[in-house]
Homo-oligomer: A and B are copies of this chain.
Amino acid sequence: MFGAIEAGGTKFVCGVGSGPNDLKTCEIQTTSPECTAAAAVKFLHENSAWKLKAVGIGSFGPVDLRVDSPTYGFITSTPKTAWRNFDFAGTVRKALNLPVGFDTDVNAAALGEARWGAAQGISDLLYLTIGTGIGGGAIVGGRILHGLIHPEMGHIRVPHDLNRDPYRGCCPFHGDCLEGLASGPAIEQRWGVPGFNLPIVHPGWELEAHYLALGLANWVCTLSPRRILLGGGVMQQARLFPMVRSELTHLLNGYVRAREVMEDLDYYLIPPGLGTRSGILGAIALAEQAYQ
Q: Measuring CB to CB, which residues of chain A are less than 8 angstroms from any residue of chain B? A: 62, 76-77, 124, 136, 138, 140-141, 143, 145-160, 173-174, 214, 217-226, 251, 253-258, 260-261
Contact = CB atoms under 8 A, between A and B. Distances in A.
Given A77-B257, A221-B153, A222-B223, A147 B124 contact: yes
Contacts of A254: 173
A257 to B, nearest CB: 5
B218 A146 contact: no
Contacts of A77: 257
A51 B8 CA distance: 59
Given A62-B257, A143-B141, A174-B255, A222 B148 contact: no
A216 to B, nearest CB: 10
A4 to B, nearest CB: 24
B155 A157 contact: no
Main secondary structure of the interface of A (DSSP, over half): loop
B150 A224 contact: yes
A148 B221 CA distance: 10
Contacts of A150: 224
A253 B173 contact: yes
Given A152-B255, A157-B159, 5 more contacts: A141-B146, A147-B223, A149-B256, A152-B224, A173-B255
23 contacts: A76-B257, A124-B147, A140-B141, A140-B147, A141-B145, A147-B225, A148-B258, A148-B260, A148-B261, A149-B224, A151-B222, A151-B224, A152-B224, A156-B218, A156-B222, A157-B159, A157-B214, A157-B217, A173-B255, A174-B251, A174-B253, A218-B218, A223-B223
